[in-house]
Amino acid sequence: MGKGLAALLNDNGNISSGKDENADKVLGTIAEIPMDQILANPDQPRTIFDQEALEELAVSIKELGIIQPITVRRTADDKFQIISGERRFRAAKIAGLEAIPAYLRLADDQEVLEMALVENIQREELDPIEIALSYQRLIDECQLTQEAMSERVGKKRSTITNYLRLLKLQPLIQAGLRDKMISMGHARALINVTNEDEQVDIYHAAIKKELSVRQVEDAVRKLKNEKTGIQRKTTGTPLPREYDKAREALSENLQTQVDLSRSKRGKGKISISFGSDAELERILEKLQS
């Protein structure tokens, strides 16, 4: 890999910005950095590292080495802070490496945070709540709009909105989603329950009874009907399966509750539920796309 990054930086002056003289000689360089000169990123979006997976990666690193260099930035005390690649860094430690190949970026604190968040989201290695929190941090700390995030991470705005909505879930349910006790489909259905105690009741029932996503959707719909005093009308004959499939497809596509009723004469209506103005806007965008 050639010289260490510290040596390259020293040879070319005190470079700390892409505008500094000779910065072009350093940027884009991949070189070995001693492990003891590397610092973890305090703003690392990933909060859980699977130890077994790290050990498996460490075995691979022992056999094949680091295939993809980590990305770092130089700090004021001549250390190197990780922007992306902390999982590789941790596995390299387990493997006993004394140095690791790294790619140098020159960035301020906000740029580092943004790059770390975007890099992790693009890799899709975070759990749904970590992704949602990463999107929220991009809004709160990096002042990015949902439109700007959509461009940065290559995700539809509706996808970003759906992840952000997960943060409305009661904390116990968020933990259950992170621990894979329930799926994203279950979580999206539970978001439509505004009362946290009722959310938790259906959540517990979903786990205990191993309810499907559709069964949770039905439980949420039943709860809403009971609250509004609206009972689903029956025609004496069940809704044809093709209509039920159409309702399910609409519900999945719009990611909200959809009701479909039909009379014997073939007349009917479709009802689309939404819990806020923001959700209505998302649904309208989806219908117009």
Which residues have a catalytic role annotated?
86
Cα(105)–Cα(117) distance, rounded to whole angstroms?
15
Runs of H (alpha helix) within 72-156: 86-95, 109-123, 128-140, 146-153
What length is written for the chain? 289
* Bridge pairing between strands 30-34 and 99-104: antiparallel
Q: Which regions of 35-95 does DSSP assign to beta strands (E)?
A: 38-39, 70-74, 80-84
Residues whose CB is less than 8 angstroms from the CB of residue 99 and which lie 6 or more positions away in sequence, other chains included: 4, 32, 33, 34, 35
Cα(105)–Cα(88) distance, rounded to whole angstroms?
17
